[in-house]
Amino acid sequence: MSLDSRSRRLLPCALLVAALAPSCGRGACPPGSERTAADAPNEHPVRLLALAGPMAAAEMEVSAMAWHGDRLVFVPERLGLDEEDDVILSGAQRVFVLDKRDIIEVLDGRRPGPLTPQAVPVTPSIAEAIEGCDGFEAVAFLGDHAYFAVETRTNADASNPTLLVHGKISKERRAVTLDLAQQRPLRRPTGDDNLSHEALFIWRDRVYAIYELNAADRITRPRAAVFSLDLQAVGDVAFPHIDYRITDVTAVDAAGHLWAINYRYPGSSRASVAPERESLGGRYGRGATHQRFEQVERLVELAVDDAGLRLTDRAPIQLRLEDDRARNWEGIVRLDDRGFLLVTDQFPQTWLGFVALDERQP
């Protein structure tokens, strides 16, 4: 989802002076304290991979991505339309795909960049079929079946639900066809506008949908909604309190673990808890650049079982911040055992980044 434009206008990107508090040693720091630079947790650099073609334009506003076999599928929020439903790219609405082999060859220096994602048309038109369609926010694949979360902004009862929509991608990846007759509403658990279910994953033939806001000061009992593969409501399961937004998750691995993007944009009303008072930062410490700047960009590991989702004991992966510009990471996938691929929306622009599991790797 795009950042609130009012927040962008009102926020002067202020810098925080790194606190020179006594070291917490090997233990967890209580909220409000900081580790010294010498023992601050390591941060992982983001290696940017150059993009070319229509998807590289910030106006495309990529909001999700997921693997379909060995091809990475990028989902622009409005599939080629702007916020007034005007066409950015002529022709059918579309998603974009990249071959994993091409990504790895660029990472390994065996071919030059940039990477050029190829367009795949999507039918029927989601903007024409869904009243007040605000755009796609999440995607997950199981074989050739695709599941999308679609945010809405106006509808008959003013509840503005996220819609869960099923579709199919052709085996040759030449088209995505949506089954709009089977859409299911996901009610927002808070009264905040411009919020939705931003993450989908599939586990044991169930589709899980995660709301983006789960902070203890905003929601008493966070839950993840669960559906069958034919979009019948199964119920909901526990989800942990986590400050700041959850914007996407990876697929679940064999151990039942998945990683989520956890992001704080300082000018947003959803960032009310200051980083120096936030629980995960207090438990694991904040990296050097996270002590200098107000935004938070990190990956947190979750575990799923029949009872729901929980945070694991693994420390968050904190991304090394370059300056005070918050990078709105909206999509994440694993890249084999190398690390993660991340993608931003239009802010600050469309970036595809690689984050190695070992922070010492380039």
Question: Is 184 domain-assigned?
Answer: yes
* Measured CA distances, 117 to 55, 98, 102, 155, 189 (Å): 7, 5, 10, 34, 35
SS3 of residue 166 by DSSP = strand
Dist CA 59 CA 178 (whole Å)? 23
pLDDT tens, N- to C-terminus, the chain (362 residues): 544 443 444 444 433 333 333 334 333 444 444 556 568 999 999 999 999 999 998 888 899 999 999 999 999 987 766 666 665 555 568 899 999 999 999 999 999 999 999 999 999 987 777 777 788 999 999 999 999 999 887 655 556 789 999 999 987 778 999 998 889 999 888 877 778 999 999 999 999 999 999 999 989 999 999 999 999 999 999 999 999 999 999 999 999 999 999 999 998 877 779 999 999 999 999 999 999 999 999 999 999 999 999 999 999 999 999 999 999 999 999 999 999 999 999 888 999 999 999 876 65
Number of folded domains that form the chain: 1
Question: Is 315 domain-assigned?
Answer: yes
Question: Is 361 domain-assigned?
Answer: no
Nearest alpha carbon to residue 76 among 126, 29, 131, 35: 126
Q: What is the pLDDT of residue 12?
A: 41
Q: What is the pLDDT of residue 11?
A: 43
Question: Is 215 domain-assigned?
Answer: yes
Q: What is the pLDDT of residue 9?
A: 40
Question: Is 339 domain-assigned?
Answer: yes
Dist CA 75 CA 72 (whole Å)? 10
Whether the Cβ atoms of residue 146 and residue 166 lie closer than 8 Å to each other: yes
Q: What is the pLDDT of residue 131?
A: 73
Annotate 8-58 with three-state secondary structure: HHHCCCCECCCCCCCCCCCCCCCCCCCCCCCCCCCEECCEEECECCHHHCH
Question: What token pair was written down for 104?
Answer: 């790895």
Burial of residue 338 (number of CB atoms within 10 Å: 0-12, 13-18, 19+): middle
Residue 235 belongs to domain with CATH number: 2.115.10
Question: Is 362 domain-assigned?
Answer: no
Q: Which domain holds residue 82?
A: 5-356
How distant is the alpha carbon of residue 356 from its chain centre?
17
Question: Is 29 domain-assigned?
Answer: yes
Bridge partners (DSSP) of residue 47 are 354
Q: What is the pLDDT of residue 208?
A: 99
Sheet of 329-335: strand order equals 47-49, 352-356, 339-344, 329-335
The pair phi, psi for residue 285, each rounded to 5°, is: 85, 165
The pair phi, psi for residue 225, each rounded to 5°, is: -80, 145
Dist CA 58 CA 15 (whole Å)? 26
Q: What is the pLDDT of residue 346?
A: 84
Q: What is the pLDDT of residue 77?
A: 85
Q: What is the pLDDT of residue 132?
A: 74
